[in-house]
Amino acid sequence: MIGHVNNRNKGLGKHIVNKMLEKLFVESNFDKADLNVFDWNKAAIKCYENIGFNVNPNITSKQQNNGEVWTALNMVITKENWKYKK
């Protein structure tokens, strides 16, 4: 999501995700959000877990990419479990 390697590990992803969750949970009054992330993307998974997302073990998907099978995990967060409060 962040792109260039020089912009990684600076908390930008966490900030962006928290701003999106603020829009959902505070401004739009949703109670739950979910996203999909590839299982090999450990940095993203850790970022989402630090915010309060949990892996939903009942939902995964697979896709082919250059002859490899990539598995996407579904992660979910509730407004109640969101660790960033305005």
Integer angstrom CA distances of residue 84 from 16, 19, 23, 37: 12, 9, 12, 20
pLDDT at residue 3 is higher than 70: no
Whether 29 is in a domain gets the answer: yes
Mean pLDDT of 35-42: 95
pLDDT class of 25 with cuts at 50, 70, 90:
very high
Q: In this predicted structure, what is the pLDDT of residue 5?
A: 74
pTM (whole model) above 0.75: yes
What domain count does the chain have?
1
CATH number of residue 33's parent domain: 3.40.630.30
Whether 73 is in a domain gets the answer: yes
Give me the domain span that covers residue 57. 5-81
Q: Of all helices (H) and strands (E), which one includes residue 32?
A: strand 32-38
What b/e readout covers 21-43, taking b as 16+ CB neighbours within 10 angstroms?
Answer: beebbeeeeeeebeeebeeeeee
Whether 65 is in a domain gets the answer: yes
How many CB atoms are located within 10 Å of the residue 19 CB? 11
Whether 86 is in a domain gets the answer: no
How many CB atoms are located within 10 Å of the residue 57 CB? 8
Whether 39 is in a domain gets the answer: yes
Separation of alpha carbons 62 and 50, rounded Å? 25
